[in-house]
Structure 1
Amino acid sequence: MIPTTDDPIGDNPALIVIDPQQTTSESEEAMSSGAASIPGGRDAVMENINTVVEHARSADIPIIWGKELHRPDFADYGAEIESCEPEHGIVGTRAEQFDPILSIDEDDMEPAEYVIVKRRYNFFHRTDIEHILRTYDIDTVILVGFMTNICVHYTAHGAHEHDYAFRVAEQATAAPSQDLHETGLKCMRYLQPRGIQDITDITARLEEYDGNQLVKRVKESGQITPKTGPV
């Protein structure tokens, strides 16, 4: 059941890191997403994402890393072709890789961490994210990443429609302009007024959190369950 308290991380949280990919040269300026609630631009936001990730790892909660990717011929681009955004997330460009600032090695993933590729802004749109969230009995998703007004906002909306609470770490998300950043935060506050949280409140609660027992099992044994089949 969705938690109805002011807890900055809910009862049983997971972390979703939204689209922290490298930008391509042709879209670097338009998609730089340096407008945030903190000074320092995109790099400062990336460092805050790292901070939340490290706290999530220590707290033994699942972490889901996301990428928006599209085929080079735009066959899966859909209505995004009508967007004011420049071409983005194209397979075969730097957008296939996470930003090197981030503390993730895709060739050697940490236990209970997963990479999901999405084709739309909303992380819940035709991906397998809910399989993972249900496995770990998640009721709240902590959101960090890019962009506040688009993919973070639409993923928060997706979580809301699927009856999850969301908690956006405000200082760990950004948009192309300050106006768009603030508008994104305002729209998400409208959906769930407690859904926007200060990063220090989130990390402080993660330090106190007792951990997800299934995550602990995966870290100890490498699997959710020792076997499958009839019991």
Structure 2
Amino acid sequence: MRPENRSSGKMAILVVDMQHDFIDEDGPIPCVGAKKIVPNLQMLTRLGRELGIPVIYTKESHRKEKVDFGLELEYGETEHCLEGTRGIEIIEELVPQPSDFVLVKRRYSGFFATDLDLLLRGLGVNTLVLTGAATDVCVRATAQDALQLDYRVIVPEECVAGTSAARHSAALEHIGYVLGRVLSLDDTVVELRRSSAA
């Protein structure tokens, strides 16, 4: 059977884990420069809505009993995104709009044990614009799973933040090498406009 032709689909913007625990400077896992990308994400999501491009948010969430962290805490991560805390909430500047989709995830990848793939297929999406935090953890993990599921990946470099400057740069290099395209925000906007006009 011939593989599905996904070359004529459309794009979606995925905003990964822009939650207080990752964005606030006093959070348990603060991402370097996260506050600086907020205006870029505001512009990008606003444009996406204007163009009719789906905007999807992921929200990392862990039960207060801490039974769904897996091995994350074993490898040095601090407890984060516990249900019932402020840290789990998406920052006020990027609160999802009624037309947006929000997916809860328990692990790094937006695809793992979620219905993101099902949603994207239902929307006819073949290309993901990946933004958010952290470049070197959840963004990179989501990019890898997206590639394995045959989605094209674009990462606008002014719309992601990592757990350190070095890890951020290394993750962008890795994504650009084998997982997708790392573009400027301006070039991403061109791609979005082109997709909406197709």
- TM-score for the superposition, normalised by structure 1: 0.77
Q: Give the superposed CA RMSD.
A: 2.3
Alignment match of 1:201 (pick from 180, 187, 190): 187
Q: What is the Cα deviation at residue 30 of structure 1?
A: 5.1
* 1:18 aligned residue: 16
1:145 aligned counterpart, secondary structure: strand
Runs of 5+ unmatched residues, structure 2: none
- Distance in structure 1 (CA, Å) of the matches to 2:78 and 2:174: 23
Does the 8 Å CA contact 2:61/2:104 hold for their aligned counterparts?
A: yes
- Distance in structure 1 (CA, Å) of the matches to 2:62 and 2:127: 28
State which drifts further: 91-100 or 14-23: 91-100
Question: What is the number of residues matched between the two proteins?
Answer: 194
- Distance in structure 2 (CA, Å) of the matches to 1:138 and 1:165: 9
Q: 1:31-180 residue pairs with structure 2 within 5 A?
A: 31-34=29-32, 41-102=33-94, 104-105=95-96, 109-111=97-99, 113-180=100-167
Does the 8 Å CA contact 1:22/1:96 hold for their aligned counterparts?
A: yes
Residue type of the alignment partner of 2:43: T
Residue type of the alignment partner of 1:151: C
- Distance in structure 1 (CA, Å) of the matches to 2:25 and 2:71: 19
Max Rg structure: 1
Does the 8 Å CA contact 1:18/1:143 hold for their aligned counterparts?
A: yes
Does the 8 Å CA contact 1:27/1:87 hold for their aligned counterparts?
A: no
Q: What is the Cα deviation at residue 66 of structure 1?
A: 0.7
2:157 aligned counterpart, secondary structure: strand
2:43 aligned counterpart, secondary structure: helix
Higher helix fraction (1 or 2): 2
Does the 8 Å CA contact 2:21/2:28 hold for their aligned counterparts?
A: no
- Distance in structure 2 (CA, Å) of the matches to 1:62 and 1:83: 35
Q: What is the Cα deviation at residue 29 of structure 1?
A: 5.4
- TM-score for the superposition, normalised by structure 2: 0.89
